[in-house]
């Protein structure tokens, strides 16, 4: 299966969790664009499975391999209008998923995929609906982050919460580039070490009970120029929303104050303007860096809510689609007890793609 997003940078993700490979085609990068392949590999390593007791035991190196349109050096150069990169799937155990062809997992796309596509998809490991498909998304987003960094735009994220355990939120008006860099260097992207301890307890407790737990990732982009975006469906929020919701398990997205804004009066929610030298700033940042779909120059802050992993080892009620009868299901295999641990670089990648696409629209 292939799915595509983007207007100026078109990203097509293809493959499946247990196919020989997954990959991405990217159209719109100017010829001569340089990509640091070592930096890209390091970015993908942050998302890769098998490196933490808080994540799935599936072990994949997730090395991005150029297939077309790139020179084969550490500093790759775009040579064609469309470039293609792939990741080999090496640690699949498809036998764990045989029963799920007829007995869908509650909370998973097994049932709806069967209704929509029948038997035409290989749904082992979740097929094209698997979080595995975020690896090629990270290839495209990792490249976008490199290009944005050359324009002085920094992106970073942290685990905002796991269940009731919450990290220190980003300061809406003053996030330092050093903080964003430090989060990328941690084994668990949190600001508070106390929050890390509590989150770890929540995840391990769920894992011990063969259960799972959800959470929130907060992402920030610094120094996005004011004036990026447009009205209605050309707005940056409208560009970002489908990229965010394409990440498996995302069930909610909020910008700035988000849903809390509905509890405020206008006098509380409105962010007062002021001049800082010749730049217009706001004293608060409930708008999250975007007004009317257009960036203001303030930190761009977004939070994404992730549901608990539906693949759990507790017995659940389901149905046998072949026998047309009710049945019980206990899921086998290797699954993340909490997806937010590995979701941080995925969210960074998604934000980078949307920002780059909108900047290129302005630069036409």
Q: Are 135 and 87 in contact (CB under 8 A)?
A: yes
Tokens of 97: 């998923």
pLDDT band for position 55 (cuts 50, 70, 90): low
Does pLDDT of 234 surpass 70?
Answer: yes
Question: Pairing between strand 316-320 and 2-5?
Answer: unpaired
DSSP classification of residue 96: G
Domains of the chain in start order, with CATH, are: 2-362 (3.60.150.10)
Flag the least confident range among 32-36, 293-297, 334-338.
334-338
Does pLDDT of 92 surpass 80?
Answer: no
Does pLDDT of 57 surpass 60?
Answer: no
* Average pLDDT of the segment spanning 255-266: 97
> How does pLDDT run across 198-233, given as a tens digit for each residue?
999 999 999 999 999 999 999 999 999 999 999 999
Ramachandran bin of 244, using left for φ above 0, alpha for ψ from -120 to 50, beta for the remaining angles: alpha
Does pLDDT of 94 surpass 60?
Answer: no
d(C-alpha 287, C-alpha 302), whole Å = 10
pLDDT band for position 264 (cuts 50, 70, 90): very high
User: Tokens 């775009």 label which residue?
Assistant: 78
Does pLDDT of 98 surpass 70?
Answer: no
Q: Are 211 and 312 in contact (CB under 8 A)?
A: yes
Does pLDDT of 51 surpass 70?
Answer: no
In this prediction, residue 194 carries a pLDDT of: 97
> How does pLDDT run across 16-49, given as a tens digit for each residue?
877 788 999 999 999 999 999 999 999 999 988 6
Does pLDDT of 317 surpass 90?
Answer: yes
pLDDT: which is higher, 72 or 86? 86
* Average pLDDT of the segment spanning 65-83: 91
Q: Are 110 and 318 in contact (CB under 8 A)?
A: no
CA angle 205, 167, 129 (to 5 degrees): 65
Q: Which residues pair with 317 in a beta bridge?
A: 328
In this prediction, residue 119 carries a pLDDT of: 81
């Amino acid at each position: 299966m292939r799915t595509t997003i983007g207007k100026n940078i078109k990203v097509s993700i293809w493959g499946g969790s247990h196919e020989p490979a997954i990959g991405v085609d990217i159209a719109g990068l100017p010829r001569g664009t340089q990509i640091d392949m070592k930096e890209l590999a390091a970015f993908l390593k942050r998302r890769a499975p098998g490196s933490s007791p808080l994540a799935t035991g599936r072990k994949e190196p997730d090395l991005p391999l150029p297939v077309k349109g790139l020179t084969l050096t550490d500093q790759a150069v775009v040579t064609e209008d469309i470039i293609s990169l792939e990741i080999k799937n090496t640690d699949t155990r498809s036998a764990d998923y045989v029963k799920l062809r007829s007995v869908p997992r509650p909370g998973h796309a097994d049932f709806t995929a069967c209704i929509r596509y029948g038997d035409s998809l290989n749904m082992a490991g979740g097929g094209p609906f698997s979080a595995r498909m975020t690896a090629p998304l990270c290839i495209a987003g990792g490249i976008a982050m490199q290009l944005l960094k050359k324009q002085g735009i920094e992106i970073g994220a942290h685990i905002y919460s796991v269940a009731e355990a919450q990290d220190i939120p980003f300061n809406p008006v003053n996030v330092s580039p050093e903080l964003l860099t430090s989060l990328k260097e941690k084994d668990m992207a949190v600001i508070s070490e106390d929050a890390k301890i509590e989150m770890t307890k929540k995840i391990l407790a769920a894992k011990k009970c063969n259960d799972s737990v959800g959470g929130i990732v907060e992402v920030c982009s610094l120094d996005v120029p004011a004036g990026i975006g447009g009205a209605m469906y050309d707005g940056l929020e409208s560009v970002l929303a489908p990229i965010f919701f394409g990440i498996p398990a995302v069930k909610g997205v909020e910008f700035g104050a988000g849903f809390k804004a509905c509890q405020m009066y206008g006098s509380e929610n409105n962010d007062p303007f002021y001049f800082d030298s010749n730049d217009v700033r706001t004293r608060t940042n409930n708008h999250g860096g975007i007004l009317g779909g257009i960036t203001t120059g303030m930190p761009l802050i977004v939070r994404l809510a992730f549901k608990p992993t539906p693949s759990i080892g507790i017995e659940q009620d389901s149905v046998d689609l072949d026998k047309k009868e009710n049945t019980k299901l206990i899921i086998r295999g290797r699954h993340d007890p909490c997806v937010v641990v590995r979701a941080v670089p995925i969210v960074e990648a998604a934000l980078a793609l949307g920002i780059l696409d909108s900047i290129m629209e302005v630069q036409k």
